[in-house]
Amino acid sequence: MKNILIIEENKTIANLLAQEIRYKIENINVLISHSYEEVLKYIFDKDTKIDFAILDLNFPDAKDGEIVKLTLAKNIRSIIYSASFNQDLILDILQDGIITYIEKGGNKSINTVIRHLQTALKTDETNILIVDNSIAQPSILKSMIEEIGFNVYTAKDGSEAYDFVENNPQIKFSLVLTHFNMPNIDGIELTLKLRKKYTIEELGIIVLSASDMEDISTKFLKIGANDFINKPYRKIEIKTKINTVLENLSLFEEIRDMANKDFLTGAYNRRFFYDSGTAIFLKAKREKRDLCVAMFDIDKFKNINDTHGHDIGDVAIKEVATILHQTLRKSDLIARFGGEEFCVLLENISREDAITLFEKIRDIFEKNILNVNNIEVRFTVSIGIFYGIQETIDDMIKIADNGLYFCKEHGRNQVAINKID
């Protein structure tokens, strides 16, 4: 779990920031300090590693960016969130490693802080490919980008780069930085080939160009590049342009999530399940493979709402999604169908393993205890399963649903498979 330190004199702003971060970002611990003295306690606490800081430029007991210099000295990646605007100081600090500067200004600026923080939290998972056939420049650029915290790969020309991307699907690249003039496949041809496979919302492309190549850079932008960086490379320009492209990718991902995911649980919604599930179903049918569909439902969910209120009912629904995501594979499709009902679709699993898996999940729910505001909540689930292949995905879901109703009618807290009637 990452530790985020908010350094803000105004307690209202600090608490609002902390609340929004906790709500929108999972698996983080938010700490707050209101003075230089409190910051020192956190930073020099051997038991607390501060991963990121969000801080103002000036405090009554630390003016002219003194706290910023302290966080930089301790290698804490930081976002400046301030109403102060000292251009020389900000440019100097940004050159030295601050993630970004954001001017204070209500909810919109707080959302900007959170987007930058979300991007920064993903740096160690973000893969960038540099494509350049020169001898010295790629290593210089690689070193600068690795300093920010990204994973960097290199290729000598467009052909090597494209083959590397194609042959390593386990490496999800967020950004490609490509030179123009290269043997085999040049930068323009590489950009065209990449854009046939990845949209501008899925992969960023930045062109590495000389200052006298403005016409070439414009051509790149017309065929799908996001931006360009002129040589000689400057750290502040590299960082700013890379972060801008990654921020835009994050925004696109957020928009896709809003369309495809359930707001309460983060699981996929019913529409996305049918879109993706139908594609999986049709492929499995062509290849004569069996699939597994399971319907989940919280037993006696109305009692939870009536006894503890709808807020705790919502927590119980979110707990179902959490346990399913923790227990199932990343490749398994998990969707909330509505209310307390969930549906999952699994490939590449035997009938016996499917039954064992869902019995295990049922047992996890039976033993699980939710503690919400010192209130202990227990609940079980019923699970209906279809295993095999049918004429349509709807037929499979219906049979799984029949199994779910069978469980409800025969005592709940159980698993039923392939109940046709």
Which tens digit of pLDDT belongs to each residue from 92-129?
A: 666 666 778 888 887 788 888 888 888 888 887 899 99
Closest CA to 343 of 408, 391, 272, 410: 272
Chain centroid, CA 414 distance in Å: 34
Give every CB contact of residue 364 below 8 A, 6+ residues apart in sequence.
323, 327
> What integer pLDDT is reported at residue 205 of this predicted model?
94
Give every CB contact of residue 39 below 8 A, 6+ residues apart in sequence.
5, 7, 33, 62, 67, 70
Exposure pattern of 390-416 as b/e (b: 16+ CB <10 Å)?
A: beebeebbbbbbbbbebbbeeeebbbb
Q: Is pLDDT above 70 for 89?
A: no
**Contact status, residue 175 vs residue 245, Cβ threshold 8 Å:** yes
> What integer pLDDT is reported at residue 213 of this predicted model?
63
Query: Which two three-digit tokens encode residue 402?
Result: 């029949």
Rounded to whole angstroms, the Cα distance separating 81 from 92 reads 16
Q: Around Cβ 329, how many Cβ atoms within 10 Å?
A: 10
Closest CA to 132 of 195, 186, 173, 175: 186
Instruction: Report pTM.
Output: 0.65
User: Which letter does DSSP use for residue 61 in this model?
Assistant: T
> What integer pLDDT is reported at residue 329 of this predicted model?
92
Rounded to whole angstroms, the Cα distance separating 312 from 370 reads 9
Rounded to whole angstroms, the Cα distance separating 77 from 97 reads 7
Domains of the chain (ranges, CATH numbers): 2-121 (3.40.50.2300), 123-259 (3.40.50.2300), 270-417 (3.30.70.270)
Q: Is pLDDT above 60 for 211?
A: no
Among 278-282, 343-347, 369-373, the least confident range: 369-373
Closest CA to 232 of 301, 346, 140: 140
**Contact status, residue 344 vs residue 296, Cβ threshold 8 Å:** yes
Exposure pattern of 95-106 as b/e (b: 16+ CB <10 Å)?
A: eebbbbbbeeee
Secondary structure E strands in 77-179? 77-82, 100-103, 127-131, 151-155, 173-179
* Interval 131-178: pLDDT, tens: 998 876 778 888 888 877 889 999 999 999 999 999 998 899 999 999
